[in-house]
Amino acid sequence: MNNFKVSVIIPVYNCAEYIGATLKSVINQDFDDYEIIVIDDGSTDNSLEIINETLRDCEVHNNIIHQENAGVSVARNRGIDVSSGQYLVFVDADDYILENHLLELYNPDYDFSLVQFAKKEGDSISVPNNFGFTEISTGQFIKKELNMEILFNFFQLSYKADIIKKNNVRFTPGVVYGEDIEFALKALSCSDKIHVTNEVTYYYVQRSDSAIKTTEFRRFDIISIFEGLADFYKSKDKNDLASLIIHSRIPKAIFGNMNYFFYGGYDFEEVIGEMKKRDLFSKLKKYEGPDKKFKLKLRLFLLNPKLYYKMWFRFKNSID
Per-residue pLDDT at 213 exceeds 80: no
Mean pLDDT of 209-235: 82
Query: Which pLDDT value is given to residue 215?
Result: 53
Q: Decide: 171 and 197 in contact? Cβ < 8 Å.
A: no
Q: Decide: 215 and 170 in contact? Cβ < 8 Å.
A: no
* Alpha carbon 191 to chain centroid, angstroms: 19
Mean pLDDT of 131-145: 94
Please spell the DSSP secondary structure of the chain, one letter per residue. ---EEEEEEEEESS-TTTHHHHHHHHHS-S--SEEEEEEEES-SSSHHHHHHHHHTT-SSEEEEEEE----HHHHHHHHHHH--EEEEEE--TT-EE-TTHHHHH--TT-SEEEEEEEEEETTEEPPPP--S-SEEEHHHHHHHHHTT-S---GGGEEEEHHHHHHTT--PPTT-SSSHHHHHHHHHHTTSSEEEEEEEEEEEEE--TT-GGGG-GGGGGGHHHHHHHHHHHHHHTT-HHHHHHIIIIIHHHHHHHHHHHHHHTT--HHHHHHHHHHTTHHHHHTT---S-HHHHHHHHHHHH-HHHHHHHHHHHHHHH-
Q: What percent of the chain is predicted at pLDDT more than 90?
A: 82
Per-residue pLDDT at 8 exceeds 70: yes
Sorted by sequence, the CB contacts under 8 Å of residue 191 that are 6+ apart come out as 111, 112, 138, 160, 163
Query: Which pLDDT value is given to residue 319?
Result: 47
Query: Which pLDDT value is given to residue 312?
Result: 85
Average pLDDT, the chain: 93
How confident is the model over 280-307, as pLDDT tens digits?
Answer: 999 999 999 888 999 999 999 999 999 9
Per-residue pLDDT at 174 exceeds 90: no
How confident is the model over 177-187, as pLDDT tens digits?
Answer: 899 999 999 99
Q: Decide: 254 and 282 in contact? Cβ < 8 Å.
A: no
Closest CA to 192 of 169, 165, 163, 235: 163
Sorted by sequence, the CB contacts under 8 Å of residue 240 that are 6+ apart come out as 143
CA distance 237 to 231: 10
Largest CA distance in the chain: 64
**What's the half-sphere exposure (Cβ side, CA atoms, 13 Å) at 300?**
13
